[in-house]
C-alpha cells in the first residue's frame, strides 16, 4: 500500500476481489501491532506505515472469522473500526465483507432534499421485534402515510441489546441485536425499492462509556476541551489527523457501502475543532468527491444548539457546507404556543410571537438577549432557503428528555395534536415526524440503556434521578436499565384500527398529501411567506404564495373560537383541510368556500384554504 492509499483508506478489515483481507489500524504510538485470528489460533504482525498506521494484506483472515488486535503485546482488543461485533462490545470482532451485498437499487435517485417528508424512528422500539427486518415489514405502511425519507436513530454497536444509540462505541459497526451490517444493507435496499430515502443518525461528538477502547490504540481524545460526556475527541491536537480520518472515512463508508442517502450528525456544537479547516467542512469536501465518483447525491444534516449559519453556508461563502440543520427553536415556540410549560430551555420562548418569528426568520434568536443563556445569541438566517431547516412538533430528545417520556399525545388534547401537525406541514421548512405521532401513540418514549457494567448502570440510574430532582415531585424517573422501561416505549401498532387513532392517521395522510400536491406548500421559498401574529387571540395567520396558488393557514391555539380576516377582500378561498371538521372528529365543519373574507375558526384548530392565482 502506498501513502495515498493509507491516508484515504477505510480503517479496519476490508476484502479485495481476490478474497484477501486488507487490514489497516491507526496506533501512532505503538511499537508493535498484531492481529490474532481467534478461530484459527494464528497471530500475524502488521507492518508499520506512515502517519501512525499499521497494515497487512493477508489471505489468512476470511469473512466470518473472529479476530482481535494486540498493541505492544497487551490485552487482545476488538478492532476500533470493527464492522461486526457478534458477541457484543467486549467480544472479538467479526470479519465482514460489505461488498457481498447484492444491491438492486442501481436506478435509485435520492429525492431533492427540499421534497423530503421525514420520519424519525428507533429500530428497537418501532416494532415488537426491534430489528431491521421488522422495519422492512412496515415500509408499505410508510408509503401509505406518504413519507419519503426515514431517519434512523444511531445503530453503531452499544453495550447490551437496548439503547437509544447515543452510547455507541464502535462507529463503523452495526448493532448485532438489530441485524448487523447485512440487516441494515438489506433495509436500505428495500427502502429504495419503495421510493424511500434513508438518513442515518451518526455521533461524531463523543464515544459511549462501556466498551470504549479507542484510547488504547492512540490519542483519540484530548483533555484540551470537555463535552457533556467527558473528554472531547481529538480533532485539532497532536496526532489529530488520524482521528479526523477515522470519522471522515466513517461518513464515506455509510454512503459508499451502505447506500445511505443522508447523515444526521448529532450535536455538532460539541465537536471541538478550532483548526483552520473544520472537520465538517472536510467531510463535506470528501463526500462531494464521492458523489462525483458515484453520481449519487448525499446529504449532510446537523443537529446543533447554535443559531450559526456558518454550518449551513456553502464552503465558497466561508461556511462548512452542511445541507440542513434541525431547528429546535421552532419546536420550542410551537410547544409553548400549545400551552405547555415555559420551564428549562422553553423559558426563553413566548407563545405565538416566538412561533411567528420562527416561521418568518427560522431562528427565533438571531442576535437578541437570551435570558436562559444570559447573553445575546444567534445570527440572522437571511438568504438561507427553508429547505435548510428541519422542523417537528416532537422528536426523540424532547420526548425522552422528560422524566416520564410523555409524548405530545399525553400532554395536549386531540384537537391540539392535529393543530401541531398542521403547523409543521404548512411551514416553508422540511417537516419531520417522530414514529407513532401520526396515530397519536399514547406509549411514552423513555430513556433506556442496557449496560453490563454494574457500576456504570448504577451511575446512570443516579444521574437520571438527579437530573429530574427539581421536577415531577410525585413519582420517580423510570429505571433506564429496566427492560420494562424499554418495552413501555414500543409502538402499539394495533391502535391503528381503533379510534381516535385511525382518524389521526388519516388526518396525517391528508396533510402530507396536501404538502406534496399543493404548489404553495410544496416548496421551501421563504420569500413567498408572510406571517401575522395575534397574541391576544392566541392565533397565527400564515400566507404562502407560489406562481400558481395562494394558501392561507389559520392556527388558533386558544380555547375559544376566533374570527380572522383573510388576505384580499374579493378573493374566493376553497378549503383544503380544517382540523375542526366533524370528519376529523372535530367540533364544527367549516364551509368549503369562503367569499366574505372573514373566517370564524373553532378553538384549537388548524384551517388551510387555497386560492388559484389567475394567469
Average pLDDT on 592-597 reads 90
Contact call for residues 198 and 149 (beta carbons, < 8 A): yes
Rounded CA gap, 497 and 482, in Å?
30
Break the chain down into helix, strand, coil percent, rounded to 5: 30, 20, 45
In this predicted model, what pLDDT tens digit does every residue of 263-321 receive, in sequence order?
A: 999 999 999 999 999 999 999 999 999 999 999 999 999 999 999 999 999 999 999 99
* Planar angle of CA 462, 465, 467, nearest 5 degrees: 105
Higher-pLDDT residue of 516, 472: 516
Rounded CA gap, 465 and 462, in Å?
5
Q: Is 113 helix (H, G, I), strand (E, B) or coil?
A: helix
Contact call for residues 324 and 389 (beta carbons, < 8 A): yes
Average pLDDT on 140-169 reads 97
Answer yes or no: is pLDDT of 8 > 50: yes
Average pLDDT on 89-94 reads 97
Q: What is the DSSP string of 522-536?
A: S---STTEEEEEETT
- Residue 615: pLDDT band by 50, 70, 90 thresholds? very low
Q: What is the DSSP string of 323-365?
A: SEEE-HHHHHHHHHHTT----GGGTT--TTHHHHHHHHHS-S-
Q: Is 212 helix (H, G, I), strand (E, B) or coil?
A: coil
> What residues does CATH 2.60.40.1180 cover in the chain?
528-612
Alpha carbons within 13 A on the beta-carbon side of 449: 21
Active site residue 105: no
Q: Which residue has the cell 430515502?
A: 197
Answer yes or no: is pLDDT of 606 > 80: yes
Average pLDDT on 233-262 reads 97
Q: Which of 49, 303, 361, 437 is catalytic?
A: 303
Contact call for residues 162 and 483 (beta carbons, < 8 A): yes
Average pLDDT on 52-67 reads 97
- pTM for this model (two decimals): 0.96
Paired residues of 448 in beta bridges = none
Average pLDDT on 423-452 reads 97
Contact call for residues 167 and 229 (beta carbons, < 8 A): no
CATH topology for the 3-99 domain:
Immunoglobulin-like (2.60.40)
Question: What's the pLDDT score for residue 455?
Answer: 86
Q: What is the DSSP string of 236-274?
A: SSTTHHHHHHHHHHHHHHHHHHH---EEEETTGGG----
Average pLDDT on 204-216 reads 96
- Residue 474: pLDDT band by 50, 70, 90 thresholds? low
Q: Is 540 helix (H, G, I), strand (E, B) or coil?
A: strand
Cis peptide, bond prior to residue 500, ω within 30 of zero: yes
Alpha carbons within 13 A on the beta-carbon side of 424: 31
Question: What's the pLDDT score for residue 456?
Answer: 87
| Chain mean pLDDT for the chain | 94
Question: What's the pLDDT score for residue 4?
Answer: 54
The phi, psi pair for 458, rounded to 5°, reads -70, -35
Q: Identify the burial level of 469 via C-beta atoms within 10 angstroms of its C-beta, where 0-12 means exposed, 13-18 middle and 19 or more buried.
A: exposed
Rounded CA gap, 251 and 188, in Å?
16
Q: Which residue has the cell 431517519?
A: 151
Residues 6+ apart with CB under 8 A from 349: 329, 332, 333, 335, 336, 342, 364
In this predicted model, what pLDDT tens digit does every residue of 180-194 receive, in sequence order?
A: 999 999 999 999 999
Answer yes or no: is pLDDT of 473 > 50: no
> Residues annotated in the binding site, as ranges?
264-269, 328-332, 396-401
**Percent residues over pLDDT 70 in the chain:** 97
62-76, 225-239, 458-472, 559-573: lowest mean pLDDT where?
458-472
Rounded CA gap, 125 and 226, in Å?
32
Q: Dihedral through CA 163, CA 169, CA 170, CA 174, nearest 10? A: 0
Question: What's the pLDDT score for residue 472?
Answer: 46
Q: Which of 97, 189, 266, 308 is catalytic?
A: 266
Q: Identify the burial level of 174 via C-beta atoms within 10 angstroms of its C-beta, where 0-12 means exposed, 13-18 middle and 19 or more buried.
A: buried
The phi, psi pair for 24, rounded to 5°, reads -140, 120
> What residues does CATH 2.60.40.10 cover in the chain?
3-99
Q: Which residue has the cell 501512525?
A: 52
Q: Which CATH class is domain 116-202+249-267+277-335+383-512?
A: alpha beta
Paired residues of 555 in beta bridges = 540, 606
Residue 135: C-alpha distances to residues 124, 140, 330, 534 (Å)? 9, 10, 29, 43
Contacts 24+ apart (CB under 8 A), 456-459: 456/209, 456/210, 457/481
Rounded CA gap, 152 and 110, in Å?
16
> Residues annotated in the binding site for substrate, as ranges?
264-269, 328-332, 396-401
Answer yes or no: is pLDDT of 600 > 90: yes
Residues in the chain: 615
Handedness of CA 493, 497, 501, 505 (dihedral sign): positive
Average pLDDT on 406-425 reads 97
Average pLDDT on 311-337 reads 97
- Residue 6: pLDDT band by 50, 70, 90 thresholds? low
Task: Give the relative orientation of helices 279-294 and 240-258 as an angle to the nearest 10 degrees.
Answer: 30
Average pLDDT on 19-31 reads 97
> What residues does CATH 3.20.20.80 cover in the chain?
116-202+249-267+277-335+383-512
Domain 528-612 superfamily per CATH: Golgi alpha-mannosidase II (2.60.40.1180)
Residue 210 DSSP one-character state: T
Residue of 196, 191, 122, 192 lying closest to 162 (CA atoms): 122
The count of other CB atoms within 10 Å of the CB of residue 74 is: 12
Average pLDDT on 110-129 reads 98
Rounded CA gap, 524 and 36, in Å?
54
Residue of 83, 6, 74, 73 lying closest to 45 (CA atoms): 73
Residue 406: C-alpha distances to residues 303, 396, 436, 525 (Å)? 22, 11, 13, 34
Region of residue 239 (phi > 0: left; psi between -120 and 50: alpha; otherwise: beta): left
Average pLDDT on 124-149 reads 98
Residue of 80, 85, 68 lying closest to 176 (CA atoms): 85
Rounded CA gap, 445 and 439, in Å?
15
Active site residue 5: no
**Percent residues over pLDDT 90 in the chain:** 89
Rounded CA gap, 68 and 95, in Å?
10
- Residue 526: pLDDT band by 50, 70, 90 thresholds? very high
Amino acid at each position: 500500500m502506498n501513502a495515498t492509499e493509507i491516508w484515504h483508506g477505510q480503517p479496519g478489515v476490508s476484502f479485495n476481489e481476490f478474497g484477501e483481507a486488507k487490514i489497516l489500524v491507526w496506533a501512532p504510538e505503538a511499537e508493535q501491532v498484531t492481529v490474532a485470528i481467534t478461530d484459527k489460533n494464528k497471530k500475524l504482525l502488521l507492518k508499520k506505515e506512515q502517519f501512525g498506521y499499521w497494515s497487512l494484506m493477508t489471505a489468512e483472515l476470511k469473512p466470518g472469522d473472529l479476530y482481535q488486535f494486540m498493541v505492544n503485546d497487551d490485552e487482545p482488543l476488538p478492532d476500533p473500526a470493527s464492522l461486526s461485533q457478534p458477541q457484543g462490545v467486549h467480544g472479538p470482532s467479526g470479519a465482514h465483507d460489505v461488498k457481498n451485498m447484492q444491491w438492486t437499487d442501481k436506478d435509485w435517485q435520492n429525492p431533492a432534499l427540499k421534497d423530503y417528508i421525514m420520519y424519525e424512528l428507533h429500530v428497537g422500539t418501532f416494532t415488537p421485534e426491534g430489528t431491521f427486518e421488522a422495519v422492512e415489514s412496515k415500509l408499505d405502511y410508510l408509503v401509505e402515510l406518504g413519507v419519503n425519507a426515514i431517519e434512523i436513530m444511531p445503530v453503531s454497536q452499544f453495550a447490551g441489546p437496548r439503547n437509544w444509540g447515543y452510547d455507541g462505541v464502535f462507529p463503523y459497526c452495526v448493532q448485532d441485536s438489530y441485524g448487523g451490517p447485512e440487516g441494515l444493507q438489506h433495509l436500505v435496499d428495500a427502502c429504495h425499492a419503495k421510493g424511500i430515502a434513508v438518513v442515518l443518525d451518526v455521533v461524531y461528538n463523543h464515544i459511549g462509556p462501556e466498551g470504549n477502547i479507542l484510547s488504547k490504540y492512540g490519542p483519540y481524545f484530548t483533555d484540551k476541551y470537555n463535552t457533556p460526556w467527558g473528554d472531547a475527541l481529538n480533532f485539532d491536537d497532536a496526532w489529530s489527523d488520524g482521528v479526523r480520518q477515522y470519522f471522515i472515512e466513517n461518513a464515506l463508508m455509510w454512503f459508499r457501502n451502505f447506500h445511505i442517502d443522508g447523515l444526521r450528525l448529532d450535536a455538532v456544537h460539541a465537536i471541538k475543532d478550532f483548526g483552520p479547516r473544520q472537520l465538517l467542512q472536510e467531510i463535506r469536501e470528501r463526500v462531494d468527491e464521492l458523489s462525483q465518483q458515484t453520481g449519487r447525491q448525499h446529504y449532510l444534516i446537523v443537529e446543533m444548539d447554535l443559531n450559526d449559519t456558518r454550518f449551513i453556508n456553502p464552503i465558497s461563502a466561508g461556511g462548512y457546507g452542511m445541507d440542513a440543520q434541525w431547528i429546535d427553536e421552532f419546536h420550542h415556540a410551537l410547544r409553548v404556543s400549545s400551552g405547555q410549560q415555559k420551564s428549562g430551555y422553553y423559558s426563553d420562548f413566548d407563545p405565538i410571537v416566538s412561533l411567528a418569528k420562527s416561521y418568518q426568520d427560522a431562528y427565533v434568536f438571531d442576535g437578541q438577549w437570551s435570558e436562559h443563556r444570559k447573553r445575546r445569541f444567534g445570527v440572522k438566517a437571511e438568504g438561507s432557503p427553508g429547505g435548510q431547516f428541519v422542523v417537528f412538533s416532537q422528536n426523540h430528545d424532547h420526548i425522552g428528555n422528560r422524566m416520564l417520556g410523555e409524548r405530545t399525545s399525553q400532554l395536549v388534547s386531540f384537537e391540539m395534536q392535529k393543530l401541531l401537525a398542521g403547523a409543521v406541514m404548512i411551514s416553508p421548512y422540511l417537516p419531520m415526524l417522530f414514529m407513532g405521532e401520526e396515530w397519536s401513540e399514547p406509549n411514552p418514549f423513555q430513556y433506556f440503556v442496557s449496560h453490563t457494567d454494574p457500576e456504570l448502570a448504577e451511575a446512570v440510574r443516579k444521574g437520571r434521578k438527579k437530573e429530574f430532582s427539581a421536577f415531577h415531585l410525585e413519582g420517580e424517573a423510570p429505571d433506564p436499565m429496566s427492560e420494562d422501561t424499554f418495552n413501555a416505549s414500543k409502538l402499539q401498532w394495533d391502535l391503528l384500527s381503533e379510534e381516535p387513532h385511525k382518524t389521526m392517521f388519516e388526518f396525517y395522510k391528508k396533510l402530507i398529501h396536501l404538502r406534496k400536491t399543493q404548489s404553495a406548500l410544496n416548496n421551501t421559498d421563504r420569500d413567498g411567506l408572510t406571517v401575522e401574529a395575534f397574541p391576544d387571540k392566541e392565533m397565527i395567520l400564515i400566507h404562502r404564495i407560489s406562481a400558481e396558488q395562494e394558501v392561507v393557514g389559520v392556527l388558533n391555539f386558544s380555547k375559544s373560537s376566533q374570527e380572522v380576516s383573510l388576505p384580499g377582500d374579493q378573493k374566493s378561498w376553497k378549503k383544503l383541510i380544517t382540523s375542526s371538521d366533524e370528519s376529523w372528529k372535530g367540533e364544527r365543519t367549516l364551509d368549503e368556500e369562503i367569499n366574505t373574507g372573514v373566517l370564524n375558526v373553532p378553538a384549537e384548530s388548524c384551517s388551510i384554504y387555497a386560492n388559484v392565482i389567475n394567469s
